[in-house]
Amino acid sequence: MQPIHNTHTHIFTLESIPNQFLPLGLVRLARTKVGGALLGVLLNQLWPFAKNDKLDRLAAFLNIGALRTQKDIFEFVQKFYPSDSRFVVLSLDLEYLGSGVAPLSYIDQLRQLIQLKYRYPDNLFPFVCADPRRPRFLELVTNTIEKHGFTGIKLYPSLGFCPADGRLMSLYAYAEAHDIPIITHCSRGGIYFQGERTSDMHCSTYRPHWWPLTDRKNFANRFVDPSNYETVLERFPNLRICFAHYGGRQEWNDFLLHPWPNDTHTPSWLSKINDMMRKYPNVYADVAFTAFQKRFWPLIKVLMNTELLQDRILYGSDFYMVRSSVSEREFSINLRGSIGEQEYSRMARTNAARFLKFDQETD
């Protein structure tokens, strides 16, 4: 039997977070042992009343306490799963976020991951983050995959670029030609662009006058809309791509609560992703973090019993980027017990192995 695959985890540390990600020097303070402890107490008092995405991201880091290296964090999450479990580790390139510099460069973040991959070759499967604004980004991608055994490519469009950006076409061509899996962030919120808009920030899906920078979060959400991938998939129909978070909580709420189409509601991102799964052979989605809400478990069970879709949905937890009131093991077991062993096994074993191209292995 295939092992459990968690196809969506993060293990980068506060050293990779730009200094101006939060005001008043809070990121620098959080990196110290005493400051991190004090901030942890404060954020625990504010939760669940705080609604600031940035504070929520910081709380996610502080929840792991004294774990300060990627090795420590990876070994921590491993302990919540069977020993043969496999973890997709998604790196993040935050150097173009518009929030200043970080003590640890993205290149050094990758160097640490390379060493961890050599240490845990059967359990850790890193994805290299591709940002079209980075000079020679495609060379970085091909080197980490071909020379250092990285498994796939991570895209995070809300950091400030459109998935249909012309500079990414060579990346998609490479990924399709070599059948390299891509995981792209696809939910509102998360980490989003903090800088000033530049002339290369455009996307045909939205007209420019809809893009005010007074609300950077919603500005960044324009890049994440799965509609941006329609032209990409028309050009690269065999692209192996997973829409992380399956559209996210807000879009799942819209799917459940609102009729569409009508004057105020267009099809939810969940519906758009489902349509792309039905149309293209290698489109997938993971339930990372979205599945933390138990009100969505019946919908997941329905999706896992829907023809075509049931073979394209992957298990992921989003450890540890999003703060949760339950442990990693409790989340996995809650979901597993709710949707049933057959559906969970299909999601976490069969589908994930197929997406990651491990399905040729002997059961």
Give me the average pLDDT of each 10-residue run along the chain (363 residues).
Answer: 95 88 74 68 56 61 68 94 97 94 96 97 98 97 98 96 95 98 93 83 61 70 92 97 96 88 76 97 96 94 96 95 74 95 97 92 51
Q: Please report which residue ranges of 225-306 form alpha helices under DSSP H.
A: 230-235, 249-257, 269-279, 297-303
Chain-centroid distance, C-alpha 179: 20
Give the pLDDT of residue 213.
Answer: 57
What fold characterizes domain 5-355? TIM Barrel (3.20.20)
The per-residue pLDDT for 327 is: 83
Report the alpha-carbon distance of residue 260 to residue 211 in Å, rounded. 24
**pLDDT (0 to 100) of residue 362:** 46
What is the pLDDT, as a whole number, of residue 31?
A: 76
Instruction: Output the CA torsion sign for 1, 340, 282, 352.
Output: negative
At 259 the pLDDT is: 79
The beta-carbon contacts of 167-172 under 8 Å, at least 24 apart in sequence, are 167/132, 167/137, 168/130, 168/132, 168/232, 169/235, 170/138, 171/130, 171/132, 171/137, 171/138, 171/141, 172/232, 172/235, 172/236, 172/239
Helix (H) or strand (E) holding 137: helix 137-148
How wide is the angle at C-alpha 135 spanned by C-alphas 102 and 113, nearest 5°?
50
In whole angstroms, what is the distance from residue 229 CA to residue 239 CA? Answer: 11
Q: Which residues contact 175 (CB under 8 A, 6 or more apart)?
A: 153, 181, 182, 236, 239, 240
Q: To which H or E segment does residue 220 belong?
A: helix 216-224
User: Per DSSP, what are the bridge partners of residue 124?
Assistant: 87
Give pLDDT, residue 183: 98
Tokens of 217: 């979060």
Cα separation, 40 vs 57, whole angstroms: 12
Residue 220: per-residue pLDDT: 83
Q: pLDDT value at position 65? A: 46
**Pairwise CA distance, residues 23 & 54, whole Å:** 10
